Chain A
């Protein structure tokens, strides 16, 4: 029996623990790390069960190639040859941008870097993206514009120091449990004020001084209303605004229109609630915003994020412990995948592909010429392009767009339209059913590398067991494809070498290497080998110089309830499952805990429709219809339904709308119009 220190593969909190390996080479448990600065010996239920899917009999253990319409076992050589050859053929015929690459927030930094390099240096396209597009692309755009850096401004430990916490669009105790409990303990032990702005009655609402149950999608009006009160009552941090920000007049002008009465009428709340929130937040010495998908997954996601940034700028809550705008990243390495440039517009460390100097730097580092300078397709626009017949080939690693992307019928059409689809994963998925080649990847427990947590902490992932079956580490597979495509610049003997290369081309990771993060991870920016890392961003000066107020106007969501579809449908995750369910539904305890797809409905709505708890219901939107179980609960607000998207047998994304934020291209998962009735 051995115990191997590694980082949890679920949410972005970044807890480290020990995987316990049995004498037969299988994982037989998890033990907490008592010294880890975030975990401190604690774990959530997913962490305790993070070993159990790894040795599941469903694991992909050999490559498959589609022959005569069926996926059939093949050798690695044959499969890799097909991948390299077909991608090259399609590009030769239709142009380089006829191929796209979906990287993954579940893969390590090193793997995201190598896939990004594969797309750009070898296949010469910027069509590379990953699922941050679906969760926090609006954060990256919104915060980078306001501050110059699109990441969580503070550290998780700052949650324990805040005097007032505004939680909006984050069910923190369920999705980032060890951050959620820090909020509860700060409230109970230190008396911190808690404002929960979320129409679901989440656990944190039980501890809230103010629980604001606004209408989905009215975030900008709400935040503008708060800022209107702060300015009209003179509660802004005048010195901070004067010395560290720009465009205050622009903000003032915009929010002047959003009187508490006007904002309240848009949000479906009372003017007094807006006034109370404004005073509570502005009067705290150290106030912070914690947000997540409830803010970002809208057609106005970027403007929601900008409004959050405006509020903390206005109140001077930046650059100090216990303050900040703190977007909680939902996946183990979604921060890292962004940092690694697995995005359509940037290389590593957010160096723009449209910047000729950046391209020249990477051309020199990679020994290539003519890196493309156009912004590539995102996950969402690539699926649209495939549906339109413009995109011909897609290489999907560790993503499951059939389950995760909006409007499943649209995704199905897109995948069917492709001439060539490669899916690289640890389990078969609804997406791999469409694949021409399926490549078996090693899980997080079978390889070395790093993940970067939501607080920008770069931490080690360690190989605990041998890859299951013939599966291989994702980076090894990418390097083999590159070699077959005729590129010799992707030959590494281990993940540490890749991190050294990342550090050499990425200023914010410049001081990071495996030897420095052996015991405890470092928080970027960490530009030099002797730099201690950066727990709090924007101390004294913003990355962009001055903080920029970016005023936003309220715009309604694209599809609002009407007579035919009278409910708002919102989607998200539940506590016991993770994303498309490939791992948690193969973990005994987690799977047992939530067995069936369900939809939350308020007691009053259920009564009006004659729906009882646990009864089968039919839910429909303009995109499709499905059956699931009703969960009648006062967590749900009247008129609003909530459905998790983990269940293949009732995929919530059959119902969601493919409407995108115009800048970030993030889908509006949080609002569409739906109807519900008892199943016949």
Chain B
């Protein structure tokens, strides 16, 4: 196994640009870390969760899905190059796996699936989290993984696409295989208290043990900014609308939507079965922790923590679940 310096990883990723639309974590003008092209700013592999919706690479904030000109309808063209996305955490890989499943089920979403089809997902893990935290190792959930040993990055390939890319990496120094085993042990030993907490919250919801007044107290604080939904990597809801484009064409767009908005489920009459903020707030949590358990067999919040980071009111998923467990849990 080989370990690569940040400079070698940077060079490796840049070398892939001829074949891929490469997106990596970069530091922007004011220090914000988000995804961009390698030339958009210094590479910032370390730092933990990229706080924006990382799956926006495949499911963007807004996009044209269809163009109409006269009687002709044209689906949005596929991306000119396949996407290669670097910087996902293990939780992000779980989110991606879930939304792959979501977009492929029932009514397969051709726009998403086409963009995702030949893409490569690269996770970053190990000793490179925010404030020195250890990021769990993703393993086979991604195509390729950069596992930080504190100084350099071990490259682990899992899929055929990942293995093919790994062969292109130049430089690096040999490290004993025990290194990865040691890092894996460190990953396996990470605390599971948040997972246990959210599972307990899930059980409370499934057993209907959380009363209305709890949701009222949470929704009192919610200002419907929609940040929780718009940064969540496993939120998939979108709205559709048409706009006139140049030369008499019409474009059909889709745009991220939020279940925290009244218009999200309002009927044409104006009546809304989710017309109260209390119900909407409950839905945001209940959907992930109870309804999805019935539909998919598992919770669909992967504890990435983005909604907790960006919520101006302090009522992200973890914060709400923590309150819920403290107030209604058995412990």
Seen from chain A, the residues whose Cβ lies within 8 Å of a Cβ on chain B are 1-3, 5, 16, 18, 20, 28-36, 41-45, 47-48, 52, 56-57, 173-174, 177-178, 180-182, 184-185, 188-189, 203, 206-207, 518-520, 575, 588-589, 592-593, 614
Q: B261 near A: Cβ within 8 Å?
A: yes
Q: B178 near A: Cβ within 8 Å?
A: no
Whether A593 contacts B32 in the complex (CB less than 8 A), given A29-B60, A34-B51, A206-B220, comes out as no
Whether A181 contacts B32 in the complex (CB less than 8 A), given A29-B62, A203-B223, A588-B239, comes out as no
Whether A42 contacts B310 in the complex (CB less than 8 A), given A28-B63, A29-B61, comes out as yes
Known A32-B310, A41-B309, A56-B243; 13 more pairs at CB < 8 Å: A1-B36, A29-B56, A32-B51, A45-B225, A48-B225, A57-B243, A177-B223, A177-B225, A178-B312, A182-B312, A185-B314, A203-B223, A575-B224
Contact of A42 among B61, B224, B312 (CB under 8 A): B312
- The total of chain B residues at the interface (CB under 8 A) is 44
CB distance from B223 to the nearest CB of A (A): 5
**In the complex, residue of chain B having the shortest beta-carbon distance to the beta carbon of A614:** B270
| CB neighbours of A207 from chain B (8 A) | 220
Contact of A593 among B230, B262, B309 (CB under 8 A): B262
| CB neighbours of B31 from chain A (8 A) | 34-35, 519
Task: Report the bound CA distance from A546 to B220 in whole Å.
Answer: 42
Seen from chain B, the residues whose Cβ lies within 8 Å of a Cβ on chain A are 28-34, 36-37, 40, 51-52, 56, 60-63, 220-221, 223-227, 230, 239, 241, 243-245, 253, 255, 257-258, 261-263, 270, 309-314
| CB neighbours of B221 from chain A (8 A) | 181, 184, 188
Main secondary structure of the interface of A (DSSP, over half): mixed
**In the complex, residue of chain B having the shortest beta-carbon distance to the beta carbon of A518:** B29
Q: Are B313 and A185 in contact (CB under 8 A)?
A: yes
Kindly list the 4 A-B residue pairs having the minimum CB-CB distance in the complex, ordered from nearest: A29-B61, A181-B312, A35-B31, A592-B263
**In the complex, residue of chain A having the shortest beta-carbon distance to the beta carbon of B21:** A1
CB distance from B264 to the nearest CB of A (A): 9
Q: Are B30 and A41 in contact (CB under 8 A)?
A: no
| CB neighbours of B52 from chain A (8 A) | 31-32
Q: Are B227 and A589 in contact (CB under 8 A)?
A: no
CB distance from B265 to the nearest CB of A (A): 12
| CB neighbours of A182 from chain B (8 A) | 312
CB distance from A679 to the nearest CB of B (A): 16
Q: Are A44 and B243 in contact (CB under 8 A)?
A: no
Contact of B61 among A28, A35, A41, A203 (CB under 8 A): A28
Whether A45 contacts B220 in the complex (CB less than 8 A), given A18-B28, A589-B261, comes out as no
| CB neighbours of A2 from chain B (8 A) | 40
| CB neighbours of A57 from chain B (8 A) | 243-245
| CB neighbours of B312 from chain A (8 A) | 42, 44, 177-178, 181-182
Among A3, A182, A207, max chain B CB count under 10 A is at A3
Contact of B60 among A3, A28, A177, A588 (CB under 8 A): A28
Q: Are B28 and A45 in contact (CB under 8 A)?
A: no
CB distance from B84 to the nearest CB of A (A): 14
| CB neighbours of A16 from chain B (8 A) | 30
| CB neighbours of A575 from chain B (8 A) | 223-224
**In the complex, residue of chain A having the shortest beta-carbon distance to the beta carbon of B246:** A57
Task: Report the bound CA distance from A41 to B62 in whole Å.
Answer: 20
Q: Are B225 and A593 in contact (CB under 8 A)?
A: no
Q: Are B32 and A18 in contact (CB under 8 A)?
A: yes
CB distance from A261 to the nearest CB of B (A): 34
**In the complex, residue of chain A having the shortest beta-carbon distance to the beta carbon of B253:** A588
CB distance from A119 to the nearest CB of B (A): 35
Q: Are B61 and A30 in contact (CB under 8 A)?
A: yes
Task: Report the bound CA distance from A294 to B313 in whole Å.
Answer: 24
CB distance from A143 to the nearest CB of B (A): 28
- 19 pairs, CB–CB < 8 Å, chain A vs chain B: A3-B34, A18-B34, A31-B52, A34-B33, A35-B30, A41-B309, A43-B310, A44-B312, A48-B226, A48-B230, A52-B255, A57-B243, A174-B223, A181-B313, A185-B313, A519-B31, A575-B223, A588-B255, A589-B257
Task: Report the bound CA distance from A286 to B51 in whole Å.
Answer: 34
Task: Report the bound CA distance from A185 to B222 in whole Å.
Answer: 11
Task: Report the bound CA distance from A182 to B310 in whole Å.
Answer: 13
CB distance from A183 to the nearest CB of B (A): 11
Contact of B261 among A31, A520, A593 (CB under 8 A): A593
Contact of B30 among A20, A52, A520 (CB under 8 A): A520
| CB neighbours of A177 from chain B (8 A) | 223, 225, 312
CB distance from A157 to the nearest CB of B (A): 14
Among B32, B253, B262, max chain A CB count under 10 A is at B32
Q: Are B309 and A519 in contact (CB under 8 A)?
A: no
**In the complex, residue of chain A having the shortest beta-carbon distance to the beta carbon of B241:** A588
Q: Are A43 and B239 in contact (CB under 8 A)?
A: no
Q: Are A592 and B239 in contact (CB under 8 A)?
A: yes
Task: Report the bound CA distance from A520 to B29 in whole Å.
Answer: 10
Task: Report the bound CA distance from A146 to B226 in whole Å.
Answer: 40
Q: Are A42 and B314 in contact (CB under 8 A)?
A: no
Task: Report the bound CA distance from A173 to B221 in whole Å.
Answer: 9
| CB neighbours of B243 from chain A (8 A) | 56-57
| CB neighbours of B244 from chain A (8 A) | 57
CB distance from A450 to the nearest CB of B (A): 15
CB distance from B262 to the nearest CB of A (A): 6
| CB neighbours of B270 from chain A (8 A) | 614
CB distance from B131 to the nearest CB of A (A): 14
Contact of A5 among B30, B63, B227, B263 (CB under 8 A): B30
| CB neighbours of A593 from chain B (8 A) | 261-263
Task: Report the bound CA distance from A1 to B34 in whole Å.
Answer: 13
CB distance from A49 to the nearest CB of B (A): 9
Q: Are B225 and A42 in contact (CB under 8 A)?
A: yes
Q: Are A519 and B225 in contact (CB under 8 A)?
A: no
Among B33, B52, B241, max chain A CB count under 10 A is at B52
Task: Report the bound CA distance from A180 to B243 in whole Å.
Answer: 34
Contact of A203 among B28, B51, B220, B310 (CB under 8 A): B220
CB distance from A596 to the nearest CB of B (A): 9
**In the complex, residue of chain A having the shortest beta-carbon distance to the beta carbon of B23:** A1
| CB neighbours of B309 from chain A (8 A) | 41
Task: Report the bound CA distance from A32 to B33 in whole Å.
Answer: 10
Task: Report the bound CA distance from A518 to B36 in whole Å.
Answer: 20
Q: Are B61 and A184 in contact (CB under 8 A)?
A: no
**In the complex, residue of chain A having the shortest beta-carbon distance to the beta carbon of B240:** A588
Q: Are B62 and A52 in contact (CB under 8 A)?
A: yes
Task: Report the bound CA distance from A3 to B51 in whole Å.
Answer: 15
Contact of B32 among A29, A34, A589, A614 (CB under 8 A): A34
Whether A5 contacts B29 in the complex (CB less than 8 A), given A20-B61, A28-B60, A45-B224, comes out as yes
